[in-house]
Amino acid sequence: MSKLAQTVTDEEPAKILILDDEHSIRWVLERTLTEAGYRTFTASDAPEARQLLRKHVVRLAFIDINLPGQDGLSFTREILKEYPSLLTIVMTGQSTMYNTVEAMKAGAFDYVAKPFNIDEIEELAKLALRVPQNSGGTSGIASVNAADDLLAGQSRIMRDLYKAIGRVAATDLTVLIQGESGTGKELIARSIHQHSLRSKQPFVAINCAAIPSELMESELFGHEKGAFTGATERKRGKLELASQGTLFLDEIGDMPMKLQSKLLRVLQEKQFERLGGHELINTNMRVIAATHQNLEKLINNSKFRQDLYYRLNVFPVNIAPLRERRDDIPILVEHFLQKGSKEMAVGQKTIEPAALGVLTRFVWPGNIRELENTVKSLMITNVTGTITLDSLPKNLLKTQTAVASEFNLTDLISDKLQQLVQDALELNSKNLLAEVLPQVERPLLTSLLNQTKWNQQRAARILGINRNTLRKKIDVLGLKKQNSNES
């Protein structure tokens, strides 16, 4: 049988391999995928999987990372060299940045964390099998040590981010990272570099907002001796230092327009000159840019070049603010506690659940940077080994009551919600969402508006909608503020 050279016809079911050393996982996946109309084969280790691949034209393989003998990542790398059209989905019980990035670099189609949802598995299989057969792959990228992980978090948002890092690290594409200040844009850039073929070469960062505009050109391009007053010797610029490596342009939205045109030319021609010089210097750097600003808005205001934006925005990466991924806060707190114990002579610290709850519910306008600084401060100010609720800064405790009410609004209507769901089950409802939402929306909005004292801007922010949308809902539902005028 040729190595996946055949094309599976529309009439015969696609063949799927399940490789996992746990019998229960194999059984669940086999039953689920068979009922979905696929033909399945199961293996408990790499040698058994290889035999099945030689015998059958398998289109998709679910591969566990932790296998006896050979691990799933190295098996994926090897098998994709032999069967380049095979689609692989890597599975693991340890959803870390390292595992996700390495799976994508190994050439996996996707990555799924255990315990997984069966519907998610079916959807992944359906999505993967839509992909045309090809001989492309992303293997060949050197692995890095798991201890070198730079990012922390296991939310769906972060897992998708890790996948994006793994996919783009295997290429030389220019990357544009966008997100609020403090979300970790430089950490993402360093992770991309660390997992790329350029990982042994320099990672050179320059903050376009931190350097005065009159010095920026010299910092970027370098200068020759005598190029300007004070240039007493030749200086190599960031472009030259980053050659063969990665240049990280942080806060690119603050780069002066004059320099934007010069940078665009460097990106196009891969050449530049030092200030005061005539020698053309070749560069083979990879560029990663980041900004907290809306570059499209800057373009409309004639503050950023549109052609440079298109050059930079080849592979866009957007990082969500911390308030949109609160599930990551306990993991980040633990990460910073471990990091702080190594960096500061304060010993190992723990945090009590009540204090961790406050940190988790706080909005963190400064995002991860603010959270890390807060944890470090708490480690220093707490003389005991445990960070308690009483030791938290007043600004966190002051907002605790308001924040708690914002995130427990559903408790106020839980009885109503449970009754609606129960009625829907008894009536065998076929559109529960459409039936429940209108009945839940009124008490939810009423409770929220009353608790926020009809501050519509604040209420809209909590709901994740704009104020105009909230006003329309208020009008449609006929909600009225009692005993006073609307804000």
CATH code of 417's domain: 1.10.10.60
**Which residue did the predictor score with more confidence, 166 or 145?**
166
Task: Flag whether the pTM goes above 0.85.
Answer: no
- Count of domains in the chain? 4
Residues 84 and 219 in one domain: no
Contact between 108 and 173 under an 8 Å Cβ cutoff? The reply is: no
The DSSP output letter for 226 is T
In a domain, 7, yes or no: no
> What's residue 296's pLDDT?
92
Contact between 380 and 342 under an 8 Å Cβ cutoff? The reply is: no
> What's residue 483's pLDDT?
59
In a domain, 5, yes or no: no
60: tokens are 């998709």
Q: Which of 402, 417, 437 is the last residue of a domain?
A: 402
User: What pLDDT band is residue 155 in, cutting at 50, 70 and 90?
Assistant: confident
> What's residue 43's pLDDT?
92
- Domain of 330? 323-402
Residues 132 and 233 in one domain: no
Q: Which of 318, 336, 352 is the last residue of a domain?
A: 318
Residues 128 and 35 in one domain: yes
User: What pLDDT band is residue 124 in, cutting at 50, 70 and 90?
Assistant: confident
Q: How far apart are CA 409 and CA 351, in angstroms?
A: 26
Rounded mean pLDDT of 238-261? 91
Q: Strand 315-318 to strand 203-207: parallel, antiparallel, or no bridges (unpaired)?
A: unpaired
Q: Which of 280, 302, 318 is the last residue of a domain?
A: 318
Average pLDDT, the chain: 80
Rounded mean pLDDT of 436-454? 76
Residues 353 and 230 in one domain: no
Rounded mean pLDDT of 451-477? 80
Residues 221 and 295 in one domain: yes
Residues 355 and 415 in one domain: no
Q: Is 34 left (phi over 0), alpha (psi -120 to 50) or beta?
A: alpha
Q: Does residue 428 carry a pLDDT above 90?
A: no
* Amino acid at residue number 412: L
Q: What SS3 state is found at 77?
A: helix
In a domain, 161, yes or no: no
> What's residue 295's pLDDT?
93
Q: How far apart are CA 243 and CA 198, in angstroms?
A: 10
Q: What SS3 state is found at 217?
A: helix
Helices 456-463, 432-451: axis angle to 10 degrees equals 140
Rounded mean pLDDT of 50-54? 91
Contact between 367 and 153 under an 8 Å Cβ cutoff? The reply is: no
Q: What secondary structure, in 3-state letters, does 81-92 show?
A: HHCCCCEEEEEE
Express as a percent the part of the chain with pLDDT over 90: 26
User: What pLDDT band is residue 3 in, cutting at 50, 70 and 90?
Assistant: very low
Residues 235 and 346 in one domain: no
Residues 28 and 79 in one domain: yes
In a domain, 166, yes or no: no
Nearest to 308 by CA among 206, 176, 169, 165: 176
